Amino acid sequence: MKPKKTSFSRKREYFVPGPEASQEKILTELKEVFPIMESVSRKKKQTFYDTFDYKLYGKGLLLVKEGRKYALMKSGDGEQMAALSTRAKKTPKFWWDFPDGELREELSLYLDVRALMPLVDIERSSTRYRILNEDEKTVSYLDLEEINTLDCGGKKASARLLAVQPVRGYTEESDKIAEYLFGIGLERTPDDVLKIAFESLGRKPGDYSSKINVRLEPDMPASTAAKVILLSLLETIKANEQGIIDDIDSEFLHDYRVSVRRTRSVITLIKGVFPEKVKERYKKDFAMLGKSTNRLRDLDIYLLKRKQYEQMLPPELRAGLNPLFSMLENERQNALHEFVTFLSSPEYERILQSWDKFLKDTKIPEDGAVNAHTPILKLAKTHIRKRYKKALKLGKKIDDNSPDSDLHTLRIECKKLRYFLEFFESLFPEKQIRQAVRQLKALQDNLGDFNDLHVQQESLKDYVSKMNSRTKEGKDSIISAGGLISQLYSKQLDVRSEFEKRFEEFSNNETEALFENLFSTN
Amino acid sequence: MKTLALYSMKGGVGKTATAVNLAYVAASEGSRALICDLDPQGATSYYFRIRGSKNFNTNKFVKGGRIIDENIKGTDYPNLDLLPSKLSFRNMDLALDAMKKSKKRLRKVFKEVEHEYDYLFLDCPPGISLISENIFNAADFIFVPIIPTTLSVLTYDKLLEFFKKKGLSRKKLYSFFSMVETRKTLHNQTMEEMSANGKHVLNTSIPYRSDIEKMGVYREPVPAHLPKSPSAMSYGKLWMEIKGIIDG
């Protein structure tokens, strides 16, 4: 069938009755002014799904399961984007777990490598009333809804909702009803059902993001500002623990690691903000946290690349990768178990607790922290400018003959610069700082790809050296891994040849002027 | 969108009742349906309790464009909309005559809504004129209700002649028996003869029944008011047969 297109906008308006206004009371009042007929009552159970970081809701979309049917719809007017009826008992986790079709296709645009999780179960009982005109023609629908919500943690809450839905060609009449409801003290709400359900639980959809979301004031003492940033990072660290333990998807660990790295950067790179003793202690702690996740993350990346790797090889060589991947899978299980054990150890709890206590202490340290009182804007500018200059100096020395290690050093330096831009984003004009980040990101992507390809080849070589070349399986596997290494190498050369152009964009007069303009301390 | 016209030269043969009830059945199956009430008497609009807007008239209608969309009204039933008629539709011949390509004007007007609906039902005024010719051009299928009497059959023959004369394709022309009273020998005889001779005569016929006639009193489609009645069943059956023809 053709796509369902209507030029008529079904403008549905929502109202939230106040706590004292019962549905009966509202109806009685309405009935005095408008002829009303009750038509049908309905009950439905819906489960809402999204990724941990609300990839769908962030784009104004809702994924709802009702009975056997999944539907992806717009959160405002409920327009359906795609649907699927399935008899499968298991809930698909990733977009690629859905059967071929429009729903899978749509989801692939938004979900990336994140898993879908049930957010809330909602039971909606609604009664539909028809509002009639003098010909007893229905001109508007009034839906009274009771929304009972149960979140995944077992918390319960309920909310009530009134919706006015105009019949096509009779919007004026619906406007009158909406006005009337507003007049008797009902509040108009632009909210969608998910938001209402969440709010009844005291939550907000979209309450997690891996981005650093802090507002700093230019004259904040540097040590206070650093603590604000670090507290936000600590929240992200804690928020991702459960997802790692439950092994929901690879991105919990990824976000966890990024926050740990960022924490380390703040501690080590902003000089003179915290007392030396404190600095040394937590530098060590967070270095250890970071290190304990390295192998697990590497393995996650390999496993995510499985499809891509297979497609690089001729079909007959693909099976040769199976032993490699089952080995990686096993190794990952062990690495995960090890890290999860660590997450629940007293040692881990101690580190995070004392860190939390330190950050929540608002006293500005006096002992040996020379920059503790410096206004953060001044410190931020000095640091970012210094890092940019250093990255330029390193990058300008790189030519076609430079060893891989030079690119590695530049990559690390760029990462530090990126963190600083993100930490202090709220201190600078949004548009310009975004532009600076964009230029840097293009270069970082190039350096990152180069490094990933390098690391992948090294670990494949290591794998090959361990394989038994006397068995058939071993031989096949060596051939496949060899094929893959040569493919990765040729990709790495392509990426390397792109470097010059990326760096030119990062170091040209225009970008230099942008950085100078933003971060000059004069 | 498929355009289906309910047409007859004669009045009072069941065009409106058929258009209303078929459109209702189509919509209740989940198809998006629009009825366009072309008859200035406005019986269809009356059945649905819908009045056209004050600023809508025949000139605006034949001009087409956004105004069509703005004047479509939702009925009390899901998926079923109506473009109501206005008394000024009685002057539609004149309005059409003033337009370029006056015989194909309506086809152009309905293009406006072709992506919104699966089926467009045209409830046509009786007579044979410029509007009728427009309808013949706009419709993908034309269904002619026939009361099985000698006179009705003669009128149908005249229609066939008209099609031949104007070089119109008779392929889209279908007829079915309407207001049939099986206790009348004449009805039975006529039906037998016509079915034996004519092509494109549908198997399903609509009986003469008071619950259909009373639609003007309860002002609802028969299957909405009396879902289990034999009349409702016969419209359901007729729609099944018509859908078979449309889907080829």
Of A495, A513, A422, A425, which Cα lies nearest the Cα of A457? A495
Span B178-193, mean pLDDT?
A: 91
Question: Which pLDDT does position B224 carry in this prediction?
Answer: 95
Q: Residue written as tokens 């359900």?
A: A197
Q: pLDDT at residue B227 above 80?
A: yes
Question: Which pLDDT does position A168 carry in this prediction?
Answer: 93
Question: Does B74 contact A170 at a Cβ distance shorter than 8 Å?
Answer: yes
Residue A205 domain flag = no
Q: At what angle do helices A430-466 and A509-519 cross, to 10 degrees?
A: 120
Domain boundary among A348, A373, A398: A373
Question: Does A130 contact B74 at a Cβ distance shorter than 8 Å?
Answer: no
Q: What is the CATH class of B2-246?
A: alpha beta
Q: pLDDT at residue A1 above 50?
A: no
Contact residues on chain A for B71, CB-CB shorter than 8 A: 169
Distance between CA A193 and CA A145 in Å, rounded? 10
Confidence of residue B94 (pLDDT cuts 50, 70, 90): very high
CA dist list (Å): B51 to A26, A133, B7: 30, 11, 22
Distance between CA B127 and CA A460 in Å, rounded? 85
Which SS3 state, helix, strand or coil, does residue A150 take? Answer: strand
The gap from C-alpha B220 to its chain's centroid, in whole angstroms, comes to 17
Question: Which pLDDT does position A203 carry in this prediction?
Answer: 80
- A416 and A396, same domain (yes or no): yes
CATH code: domain of residue A173: 2.40.320.10
- A409 and A353, same domain (yes or no): no
Q: Give B32 to chain A, closest Cα distance, Å.
A: 9
Question: Does A8 contact B69 at a Cβ distance shorter than 8 Å?
Answer: yes
Q: Residue written as tokens 């729903």?
A: A103
Contact residues on chain B for A40, CB-CB shorter than 8 A: none
Q: Residue written as tokens 């649905």?
A: B48
Question: Which pLDDT does position A86 carry in this prediction?
Answer: 87
Cα-based torsion angle of the residue sequence A220, A222, A223, A226 in order, rounded to the nearest 10 degrees? 90
- A312 or A203, higher pLDDT: A312
- A172 and A306, same domain (yes or no): no
Give B29-62 as a 3 state SS string: CCCCEEEEECCCCCHHHHHCCCCCCCCCCHHHHH
What is the average pLDDT score of chain A?
90
Question: Which pLDDT does position A4 carry in this prediction?
Answer: 43
Span B146-173, mean pLDDT?
A: 92
How many domains does one find in chain A? 3
CB neighbour burial string for A52-89, b if at least 16 within 10 angstroms, e if fewer? bbbbbbeeebbbbbeeeebbbbebeeeeeebebebeee
pLDDT tens figures, A249-305: 999 999 999 999 999 999 998 888 898 889 999 999 999 999 999 999 999 999 999
Distance between CA A41 and CA A124 in Å, rounded? 10
Q: pLDDT at residue A153 above 70?
A: yes
Q: Give A139 to chain B, closest Cα distance, Å.
A: 8
Question: Does A169 contact B48 at a Cβ distance shorter than 8 Å?
Answer: no
Of B131, B155, B147, B108, which Cα lies nearest the Cα of B39? B131
Residue A326 domain flag = yes
Type and span of the H or E element at A443: helix A430-466
pLDDT tens figures, B118-138: 999 999 999 999 999 999 999
Question: Which pLDDT does position A255 carry in this prediction?
Answer: 96
A268: Cβ contacts below 8 Å, ≥ 6 apart: A279, A283
CATH code: domain of residue A385: 1.40.20.10
Contact residues on chain A for B51, CB-CB shorter than 8 A: 135
Question: Which pLDDT does position A197 carry in this prediction?
Answer: 83
B92: Cβ contacts below 8 Å, ≥ 6 apart: B38, B40, B58, B61, B62, B130, B131
Among the ranges given (A162-171, A467-476, B104-113), the one the predictor scored with the smallest mean pLDDT: A467-476
A307: Cβ contacts below 8 Å, ≥ 6 apart: none
Question: Which pLDDT does position A7 carry in this prediction?
Answer: 40
- A405 and A343, same domain (yes or no): no
Confidence of residue A158 (pLDDT cuts 50, 70, 90): confident
- B24 or A14, higher pLDDT: B24
Q: pLDDT at residue B199 above 80?
A: no
Residue of A40, A135, A170 best to disrupt the B interface, most CBs of B under 10 A? A135
Q: Give B73 to chain A, closest Cα distance, Å.
A: 5
Contact (Cβ atoms closer than 8 angstroms) between residue B206 and residue B177: yes
DSSP 8-state secondary structure symbol assigned to residue B226: S
pLDDT tens figures, A372-417: 889 999 999 999 999 999 999 999 999 988 999 999 999 999 999 9
Residue A340 domain flag = yes
- A342 and A381, same domain (yes or no): no
Question: Which pLDDT does position A457 carry in this prediction?
Answer: 92
Question: Which pLDDT does position A410 carry in this prediction?
Answer: 96
Q: pLDDT at residue B72 above 70?
A: yes
Of B121, A359, A350, A94, which Cα lies nearest the Cα of A103? A94
- A370 or B172, higher pLDDT: B172
Residue of B1, B29, B81, B82 best to disrupt the A interface, most CBs of A under 10 A? B81
How many other C-beta atoms lie within 10 A of the C-beta of residue A39? 13
For A130, the closest chain B residue by CA position comes to: B76
Question: Does B74 contact A169 at a Cβ distance shorter than 8 Å?
Answer: yes
Token digits of residue A369: 């922290």
Distance between CA B158 and CA A145 in Å, rounded? 59
CB neighbour burial string for A229-246, b if at least 16 within 10 angstroms, e if fewer? bbebbbebbebbbebbee
Distance between CA B79 and CA A201 in Å, rounded? 36
Contact (Cβ atoms closer than 8 angstroms) between residue A202 and residue A153: no
A281: Cβ contacts below 8 Å, ≥ 6 apart: none
Residue A61 domain flag = yes
Share of chain B above pLDDT 70, in %: 100
Domain boundary among A350, A373, A396: A373
Distance between CA B23 and CA B119 in Å, rounded? 8
Q: pLDDT at residue A422 above 90?
A: yes
Residue of A37, A135, A137, A141 best to disrupt the B interface, most CBs of B under 10 A? A137
Which SS3 state, helix, strand or coil, does residue A66 take? Answer: strand
Question: Which pLDDT does position A75 carry in this prediction?
Answer: 82
Residue A17 domain flag = yes
Residue A2 domain flag = no
- A60 and A136, same domain (yes or no): yes
For A39, the closest chain B residue by CA position comes to: B76
Question: Does B115 contact A130 at a Cβ distance shorter than 8 Å?
Answer: no
Span B108-123, mean pLDDT?
A: 95
DSSP characters over A210-258: SS------TTSBHHHHHHHHHHHHHHHHHHHHHHHHTT--HHHHHHHHH
pLDDT tens figures, A25-50: 888 888 888 888 888 899 999 999 99
Residue A6 domain flag = no
Of A165, A157, A153, A72, which Cα lies nearest the Cα of A122? A157
Which of A140-144, A243-247, B198-202 is predicted most confidently? A243-247
Which amino acid is present at A185?
A: G
Contact residues on chain B for A3, CB-CB shorter than 8 A: 115
Domain boundary among A373, A399, A429: A373
pLDDT tens figures, A462-512: 888 888 888 888 888 999 999 999 999 999 999 999 999 999 999 999 999
CA angle at residue B6 from B4 to B7, to 5 degrees? Answer: 125
Contact (Cβ atoms closer than 8 angstroms) between residue A126 and residue A144: yes
Range of the domain at A471: 375-522
Of B195, B199, B212, which Cα lies nearest the Cα of B171? B199
Residue A247 domain flag = yes
pLDDT tens figures, A324-378: 899 999 999 999 999 999 999 999 999 999 999 999 988 877 776 788 889 999 9
DSSP 8-state secondary structure symbol assigned to residue A114: P
**This prediction's pTM:** 0.74
CA angle at residue A143 from A140 to A146, to 5 degrees? Answer: 170
Q: pLDDT at residue A20 above 90?
A: no
Question: Does A2 contact B118 at a Cβ distance shorter than 8 Å?
Answer: yes
Establish if A5 touches chain B: CB-CB under 8 angstroms: yes
Domain ranges of chain B: 2-246
Type and span of the H or E element at A147: strand A138-151
Largest CA distance in chain A: 91
- A41 and A145, same domain (yes or no): yes
For B77, the closest chain A residue by CA position comes to: A138
